[in-house]
Chains A and B, each alone.
Chain A
Amino acid sequence: MSWDWIGSHGPLIGSLLGEHLYLSVVPVVLGLVIALPVGIVCARYRRLYGPVLAATSILYAIPSLALFVFLIGITGLRNETVLIPLTLYTLSVLVRNVVDGMRSVPEPVRDAATGMGFGPLRRLVQVELPVAIPLVVAGVRVATVSNISMVSIGSLLGFGGLGQLFTTYGIQLNFFTTAIIVGVVLSVALAVAADALLVGLQRLLTPWAPR
């Protein structure tokens, strides 16, 4: 371990950490924005769900590296080349969880809401979505943690956040282990911190859930 290197490269490590966070969180937000309407529609029209699920599963099965390389041809060497695949992966996790969340609303609850005079939109916003939160947040946690680990692959394109510590500063510099260790430790720490934050958020949003 070269503590000197760490000390002198603080700003670099910080900016890589920032990039890592950006590259893993933005796809989660985009994925959620897309997955919510898709999932809601799939939960309502069951026939759509099968094909949608198949499509997202196929996306999920494509090796990420292949997708990155394929996208370079379209989007070039930019942030988006990393953001798009991660968004697609997030989507395949979240659509499933949004549908499960909507299905977790007990039938009597839905029936009571309708019977008391909730229209479809009001019922969705005031009853079904709030009740679906625990399962949706569970999906967001999985997607966030898996994105944080997957961002590193982007380092092969030069956009990999902490992954750069493995490639540019590690392997390419004669297996400079300090950089590699710093990269691993910070990636794991980031994942743990993000997950803890989401657990906290869930407790805040669902004081009503038995635990």
Chain B
Amino acid sequence: MITFEHVTKRYPDGTVAVEDLDLVCPTGQITVFVGPSGCGKTTSLRMINRLLEPTSGRVLVDGEDIRQRNAAELRRGMGYVIQQAGLFPHRTVLDNVATVPLLLGTPKREARRRAAEQLERVGLPAALEKRYPYQLSGGQQQRVGVARALAADPPIMLMDEPFSAVDPVVRGELQQEFLRLQDDIGKTIVFVTHDVDEAVKLGDQIAVFATGGHLVQVDTPERLLAAPADDFVASFLGGDRGIRRLTFLASDRVGLDSADVVERPEALGPLREAGRRWALLVDADRCPVAWVPTDSGGDGRPVERTFNPAADSLRVALDSALLSPAGRGVGVDDDGRVLGTAAHADILRAVTDEVARTGRPRAGALS
């Protein structure tokens, strides 16, 4: 657990980078510091590993004032990942990753063995071990940066815009892998970003900073989207706040109807008579094939998106319905077999119910 107690950082020229910050970053969770540039989020992060010292106030790690600790030793116990990766250009990938274990006095062979393990863990092929950083792509460099921070298995990870410098596709991959990794390792992570979507995607808890170093709101992503503390937070969160909130609501209570699911075209007649214009054709395994019109005129339409009530959010369910010519979302099980379909209206009713029922946020974002 990392605790900020009345932390202020003021520079000699009078600029206040962080003002009276009180914040707790819980053990085993991802706390995201988000805000516009110049809001003090990076300054706050750098006070955790004493790259900067507070002008007043204290930073505690597990209750202990970090000023009691030798700065270099303190830092070796905290993984540190930065935007440009900051890999050592003169060391191979493997030796870059082995850096902190070597600083801690681990014998070279053992340090390299652990480094190789970490590289595998972040999804880098062993063939890259002997390469130098200039021979890697931006995404690979960031992965090495993460592996390097993890190599000595520190309980705390400090990450300063680690995925900001790579293209959006790679960023998405890195974020997914990062969440999967965190599921395994459960580190106490402080993650700085200026990207609200990234904050919502990754954070267990989000701290929103405003220009001038004020902490404006600390909340779970769901609550932040549902109830921004003020206009600044609301405008910073941007548009589609309501829609994005659906990401935090499970779709497992959406009522599914299998009346319009057919295996053979002969079954279309009764459906037409029942007033349904579209039917969902499935194969022998009940996997979706296409939406077909019941009046046998016109072509079928592809099933563009399905949702799995056991795993996906209401956002996915609603998207599935909006993309279907029938206006119905297609629910499938883990193996992709159709469970039934639901109309927009049913899904929106589930949204209302879910908001009323939970009223409280979930632990993290669903897909």
Contacts and interface: CB of A to CB of B under 8 A. Distances in A.
A127 interface: yes
A116 B100 contact: yes
Contacts of A109: 86-89
B82 A117 contact: no
A207 B99 contact: no
Contacts of B100: 116-117
Q: Is the interface of B mostly helix, strand, loop or mixed?
A: mixed
A115 B99 CA distance: 12
Nearest to A114: B51
Contacts of A208: 89-92, 132-134
A117 B90 CA distance: 18
A123 to B, nearest CB: 10
B134 A115 contact: no
A112 B91 CA distance: 14
Contacts of A108: 82-86
A118 interface: yes
Given A112-B80, A117-B100, A131-B89, A210 B49 contact: no
Interface residues of B, number: 29
Interface string A107-140: 0110111111111001000010011010000000
Interface string B72-87: 1111100010111111
Place the interface of chain A in its size category: 20 to 34
A201 to B, nearest CB: 15
B103 interface: yes
Interface centre among A112, A119, A127 (most CB of B within 10 A): A112
Nearest to B77: A117
Contact of B103 (A116, A131, A207, A209): A116
B163 to A, nearest CB: 15
Interface string A16-39: 000000000000000000000000
A206 interface: yes
B134 A210 contact: yes
Contact of B88 (A113, A119, A210): A113
23 contacts: A106-B86, A108-B82, A108-B86, A109-B86, A111-B82, A111-B86, A112-B86, A112-B87, A112-B88, A113-B86, A114-B51, A116-B76, A116-B80, A116-B100, A116-B148, A117-B103, A118-B72, A127-B88, A133-B90, A206-B90, A208-B90, A208-B91, A208-B132
Interface of A: 106, 108-109, 111-119, 122, 127, 130-131, 133, 206-210
For the complex of A and B, 5 pairs with smallest distance between CB atoms = A112-B86, A117-B76, A108-B86, A115-B80, A117-B75
